[in-house]
């Protein structure tokens, strides 16, 4: 892995946020790290244990095609350089780099696919 890259989180679609929250917190010992306001945007809950973060995604009306594990997110220091590296290697991102000020203290993100179709994401924390 290139310098400046690291694991950010694994995104998992859930059917019922309350049930999944209870499982990850009470059974597995994860702790709440960050949660979005479902009144303002999609309901995301980031739970952490040690160096592992899972992002629970509750979006009841979305047709899921990637299975319950939606994506693996890679933390980068410079998202523009990371995307340039993808393009140099013939990999086109799925859309443009987005700035999302409502997650943590702001992130930039972009999605792309690995060689077997796995959905990956880059995050740069602002």
**Digit-coded pLDDT (tens) for 3-41:** 668 888 999 888 889 999 998 898 778 899 999 998 888
Which of 109, 123, 30 is closest to 75 using CA atoms? 123
The rounded mean pLDDT for the chain is 88
Q: What is the pLDDT of residue 10?
A: 92
**Domain CATH code at residue 13:** 3.10.180.10
Q: What is the pLDDT of residue 1?
A: 40
- CA contacts within 13 A on the Cβ side of 93: 19
The answer to whether position 17 is within a domain reads yes
Per-residue pLDDT tens for 62-117? 776 667 888 989 889 999 999 998 899 899 999 999 999 999 999 999 999 887 68
Q: What is the pLDDT of residue 107?
A: 95
Q: What is the pLDDT of residue 66?
A: 67
Domain residues for 112? 6-125
Question: Is residue 55 within 8 Å of 13, Cβ to Cβ?
Answer: no
The answer to whether position 47 is within a domain reads yes
Q: What is the pLDDT of residue 84?
A: 94
DSSP state of 59: -
The answer to whether position 46 is within a domain reads yes
The answer to whether position 1 is within a domain reads no
- Structural domains counted in the chain: 1
Residue 98 is encoded by which pair of tokens? Answer: 């987005």
DSSP strand pairing (119-125 vs 69-75): parallel
């Amino acid at each position: 892995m290139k310098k400046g890259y690291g694991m950010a989180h694994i995104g998992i679609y859930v059917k019922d946020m309350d049930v999944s929250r209870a499982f990850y917190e009470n059974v597995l010992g994860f702790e709440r790290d960050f949660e979005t306001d479902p009144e303002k945007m999609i309901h995301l809950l980031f739970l952490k244990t040690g160096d592992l973060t899972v992002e629970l995604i509750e979006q009841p009306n979305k047709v899921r095609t990637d299975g319950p594990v939606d994506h693996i997110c890679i933390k980068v220091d410079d998202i523009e350089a990371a995307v340039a590296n993808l393009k140099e290697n013939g990999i086109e991102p799925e859309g443009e780099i987005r700035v999302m000020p409502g997650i943590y203290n702001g992130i930039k993100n972009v999605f792309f696919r690995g060689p077997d179709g796995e959905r990956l994401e880059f995050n740069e924390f602002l």
